[in-house]
Amino acid sequence: MSSQFPASRFSITLAMTCLVLATAALPVKPARAAVKNAEDLFIVDCLLPGQIRSLGRVATYMSARRPIRTSQADCQIRGGEYVSYDRANYQTALKVWLDQANAGSAEAQNNVGEIYSKGLGTEPDYGMAFQWFKKAADQGFGRAKINLGFLYEEGLGVAKDPAMALNLYREASGIQDELLYSSEVEVEMKAKDAQIGTLQGQVESEKANSAELREQLKRTQDQLNNQRRALQQSQAQLQQTQSQLQQAKQQKDDELTKLLENQMLGQEQQINSQRQQIATLERRAGGVDTSVFAGGPNFSILEPNLVATRGRNTAIVRGPGKRNVVGRVTSKTVKQVTVNGTPISVAANGTFSAEVDVAQAGTPVKVVALEQSGVRGELQFTMLPQAAGGSSSVAASGSGGVGSLPRDVKLGRYFAVIIGNNSYRDAQYPSLKSAVSDATAVSNVLQKRYGYQTTLVLNASRLEMLTALSSMRDKMKPEDNLLVYYAGHGELNGATGYWVPTDGAANNTKSWISNAAISDILNSLPAKKVMVVADSCYSGSMTRAAVPNLAATTPEKWNAYVKTMAAGRSRTALTSGGVQPVPDTGTGNHSYFARAFLNVLQDNNRLMEAQRLYREVATSLALNSINSPIPQNPQYAPIRYAGHESGDFFFMPKAGS
């Protein structure tokens, strides 16, 4: 973590830059790299020479040149044509892939789309990226569907269409309705009126007639004042009804309680309607204070995990009894949060928690956040006890229950690269306290409890960091899994995030390692599953909707889910936040995020999908980092341009651990 960071949001290909978490054995001396130049380990677009082939006994010919993505050193050895990583731009990259893309190769078409989407020395051309991603997606290429879905989700180069994005993510994963793409439900209430745009257009067209406009403005302001007075009266009536309702409940007058509840519902609807009318009139009158109505309180539910169904939103919990509802408010002007009508205190970091008594038949929950302006955000869902036989406490070695590994699923071997940097040569990077201890602790947990083959590199130089990552290319097989952990300083330059090695120099991007370079290396690895865990100062813009969640918890659906998620090639990242810095130390010798991550790994005794790991870390962090000087909002998502297709990462404890 650098001592100073810009606060602007940025778009990068990988979300991680500062402190992170990881894996491993005891610290080992980094292996000496066979390559002496760090640049030789970067991934480049390489155009290999054609092969001499024979046609019958007399004719020989040379095949067309073949494009691949490989390390700069490998391209040199094989006699390929490339441009050095730090000098490459979109023209040189296109030169490698365009011929095969025009010939119909879906992989090449996707690569061309990524080149346009990245920009590579120029502004991204999302319009061209969309066209090439669509060509590849139409051929069924999974990575292109993920990339195309991201453009639809963010509205880049195409009209924003979340439904289309969701369908593309589903197609890429091959999932059914039992899975959904949401790790936490976010609520954003906005006062909207379909007539606002029309009214604004009318005002623009009538500007020439100033006298009429002034008269219209006066009428509008009069209407606005009347509506404001009416709103105040309605709010007073609502408060009176709420008071009467409380008295009726205390007197256990069920008939009167029901009557007052219906009356209060009608009053709330009337108030919402009045607010919309006021918002419209404010716009028509020139928007003196429209910010009050532009956006309501934003909040998210971290626990329980919600499932969007065709009816009411649903959350499956372990069983009947007392269960927690944990959320986080992101709006600083929220004055109150209620859960089922009961006011709940909100911590300084925006976290709130309430206990709900869940009945056997299910319990409805209504969460409301109210801003000082009176604008409110609301979310309703039902907490349902888990069905009999679907206990999540089934041991990992079980024979088919939820949490066990299906007999016909093989997860492959597990590897980890852990990099923890505390000490830096450049005096502008202050020494860190927890990076090495975080990395070492998580390394021990992953090795002893989960059986990882680990590489722990502490206080690593740029060459040592790149060597540790690149060495995985020769160690791993296509069915294997890799967890990458980085703990240390991070930098942000323009739109690009960087890892800073111990020999990195301040203000010198060429001495750092960009997230784009890490993403390219991950893409080139043969492993089926790769996950980066980053307790980072900044996270890049990664879509959170492209990793599916389990909606039902019966053994049959669990088995189907594991098979689907284990089959795909995934590249995902768990980060501790968005674009804010994160504290170096939290509790003891560990950061808040590291402590939460360690606790979840240590307590787990079953096959755990990374989605569940994320949810439990997010909940633990929200509850235990109340005293943190900086709010931390973990994220879990695919890593852009790292070759993510579908599926999720799994953690499987060793037998007897």
For residue 67, whether the previous peptide bond is cis, meaning omega lies within 30 degrees of 0, is no
State the Cα angle at 588 between 586 and 594, rounded to 5°: 55
- pLDDT of 291 strictly over 60: no
Instruction: Name, in order, each residue with C-beta under 8 angstroms of 514's C-beta and a sequence gap of 6 or more.
Output: 496, 497, 498
Instruction: Tokens for 66, please give them.
Output: 């073949």
Instruction: Name, in order, each residue with C-beta under 8 angstroms of 435's C-beta and a sequence gap of 6 or more.
Output: 19, 420, 421, 422, 487, 488, 584
| Same fold: 298-385 with 414-651 | no
Number of Cβ within a 10 Å radius of residue 88: 18
- pLDDT of 216 strictly over 70: no
Domain with residues 298-385, CATH architecture: Sandwich (2.60)
- Return d(Cα 612, Cα 607) in angstroms, integer: 10
- 278 with 224: CB under 8 angstroms? yes
Burial classification of residue 340, based on how many CB atoms lie within 10 Å of its CB (0-12 exposed, 13-18 middle, 19 or more buried): middle
> CA of 614: how far to CAs of 354, 402, 515, 609, 619, in Å?
20, 18, 21, 9, 9
- Return d(Cα 247, Cα 290) in angstroms, integer: 37
- 639 with 15: CB under 8 angstroms? yes
- Return d(Cα 77, Cα 46) in angstroms, integer: 11
Instruction: Tokens for 414, please give them.
Output: 């597990």
Q: What are phi and psi of 30, to 5 degrees?
A: -55, 135
What is the third-level CATH fold of 414-651?
Rossmann fold (3.40.50)
- Return d(Cα 169, Cα 148) in angstroms, integer: 9
Q: What is the pLDDT of residue 599?
A: 92
- pLDDT of 617 strictly over 80: yes
Q: What is the pLDDT of residue 343?
A: 93
Q: What is the pLDDT of residue 357?
A: 93
- 245 with 257: CB under 8 angstroms? yes
Q: Which residue has the higher pLDDT, 368 or 14?
A: 368
1-15, 38-52, 57-71, 100-114: segment of lowest average pLDDT:
1-15
- 10 with 541: CB under 8 angstroms? yes
- Return d(Cα 356, Cα 352) in angstroms, integer: 13
44-48, 219-223, 379-383, 613-617: segment of lowest average pLDDT:
219-223
Mean pLDDT of the chain: 76
Residue 340: closest CA among 298, 301, 304, 378: 378
Instruction: Name, in order, each residue with C-beta under 8 angstroms of 292's C-beta and a sequence gap of 6 or more.
Output: 373, 374, 375
- Return d(Cα 249, Cα 257) in angstroms, integer: 6
- Return d(Cα 503, Cα 511) in angstroms, integer: 7
% the chain with pLDDT above 90: 25
39-184: CATH number:
1.25.40.10
Per-residue pLDDT band for 584 (boundaries 50, 70, 90) equals: low
Q: What is the pLDDT of residue 33?
A: 41
Q: What is the pLDDT of residue 328?
A: 81
Number of Cβ within a 10 Å radius of residue 276: 17
Per the listing, tokens 């043969």 go with: 526
Q: What is the pLDDT of residue 317?
A: 79
- Return d(Cα 589, Cα 647) in angstroms, integer: 34
Per-residue pLDDT band for 56 (boundaries 50, 70, 90) equals: low
Q: What is the mean pLDDT of residues 355-360?
A: 91
Supply the pTM of this predicted model: 0.70
Q: What is the pLDDT of residue 597?
A: 92
Instruction: Tokens for 299, please give them.
Output: 């909040």
15-36 pLDDT tens trace: 333 433 333 333 444 433 456 7
Per the listing, tokens 């082939």 go with: 53
319-323, 326-330, 530-534, 558-562: segment of lowest average pLDDT:
326-330
Q: Alpha helices, DSSP H only, in 525-640? A: 555-567, 592-603, 610-624
Q: What is the mean pLDDT of residues 206-223?
A: 61
Domain ranges of the chain: 39-184, 196-294, 298-385, 414-651
Q: Which residue has the higher pLDDT, 4 or 350?
A: 350
- pLDDT of 175 strictly over 90: no
Residue 381: closest CA among 297, 323, 294: 323
- pLDDT of 96 strictly over 80: yes
Number of Cβ within a 10 Å radius of residue 357: 11
Across 56-70, 113-127, 570-584, which has the greatest mean pLDDT?
113-127
Q: What are phi and psi of 261, to 5 degrees?
A: -65, -45
- pLDDT of 339 strictly over 90: yes
Instruction: Tokens for 504, please give them.
Output: 């990195």
Q: What is the mean pLDDT of residues 264-289?
A: 59
Q: Describe the strand order of the beta sheet including 490-493 as a list of residue ranges.
A: 490-493, 496-499, 513-514
Q: What is the pLDDT of residue 295?
A: 39
Q: What residues are paired with 572 via a beta bridge?
A: 531, 638
403-442 pLDDT tens trace: 889 988 999 999 999 999 999 999 888 888 888 998 999 9
497-506, 534-543, 613-622: segment of lowest average pLDDT:
534-543
| Sign of the torsion formed by the C-alpha atoms of 296, 302, 303 and 306 | positive
AA letter at 339: V
Q: What are phi and psi of 598, to 5 degrees?
A: -60, -45
Per-residue pLDDT band for 193 (boundaries 50, 70, 90) equals: very low
Per-residue pLDDT band for 294 (boundaries 50, 70, 90) equals: very low
Q: Which residue has the higher pLDDT, 366 or 22?
A: 366
Q: What is the mean pLDDT of residues 443-471?
A: 94
% the chain with pLDDT above 70: 70
Q: What is the mean pLDDT of residues 215-237?
A: 74
Across 232-246, 289-303, 360-374, which has the greatest mean pLDDT?
360-374
